[in-house]
Amino acid sequence: MKRISTLIVIAILFTACASTKDVIPTETANSIPKGSTKVIVTSKFPADSLYKESFTELANEGYTVIHSSDQMHQISAKNTMDLLGGDELTVNILVNNKGNGSKAILSGTWNNSYLGTNKAEWSGGRSSKYEYSFAMIVKIAKRLNGTLSYSK
């Protein structure tokens, strides 16, 4: 009986309380390849501009910057998600020059006191914590000035 209870608790912890549809539009969700762990934003603006814009959007979404490097154009920020178990989402952003513009790579992990640290990953519409976390990263990326693509 204790084993069954433990399995039920674990199953609940892996299931998001909110749907990814609450975070990103269905058409965006349908365009994300299964297994994606990174969102790439390609912008016509210089890296400095995209880096500053990334900072602004993280602040607007309530994230706390835990590390940044203006010289390397890197940001790590975290936010408590409204999921069971007091989850924290850490978003990492790296901005590089690309031709006449720039490119930002966004990825992240979610941390739960019961399940530890896990990579945010798109699993194809299941609304798991992995997927909800990835949807939160996509939400930030969609607010940046550029074109989105995805990679593993």
- The whole-number pLDDT of residue 82 equals 58
Q: How confident is the model at residue 121 (pLDDT cuts 50, 70, 90)?
A: very high
- The whole-number pLDDT of residue 87 equals 83
Asked if 133 and 19 touch (Cβ cutoff 8 Å), the reply is no
For residue 84, pLDDT over 90 is answered with: no
Looking at CATH, the fold of the domain delimited by 2-151 is given as: Alpha-D-Glucose-1,6-Bisphosphate; Chain A, domain 4 (3.30.530)
Mean pLDDT of 148-152: 96
Q: How far is CA 115 from CA 6, 9, 26, 99, 111, in A?
A: 12, 11, 28, 41, 7
For residue 93, pLDDT over 80 is answered with: yes
For residue 116, pLDDT over 60 is answered with: yes
For residue 143, pLDDT over 50 is answered with: yes
pTM of the full predicted structure?
A: 0.85
Q: How confident is the model at residue 8 (pLDDT cuts 50, 70, 90)?
A: very low
* 56-74: pLDDT as tens digits: 999 999 999 999 999 999 9
- The whole-number pLDDT of residue 113 equals 77
- The fraction of the chain above a pLDDT of 70, given in percent, is 81
What is the Cα–Cα distance from 68 to 76, expressed in whole angstroms? 6
What is the Cα–Cα distance from 82 to 17, expressed in whole angstroms? 8
- The fraction of the chain above a pLDDT of 90, given in percent, is 62
What residues form DSSP beta bridges with 90? 78, 109
Q: What's the mean per-residue pLDDT of the chain? A: 86
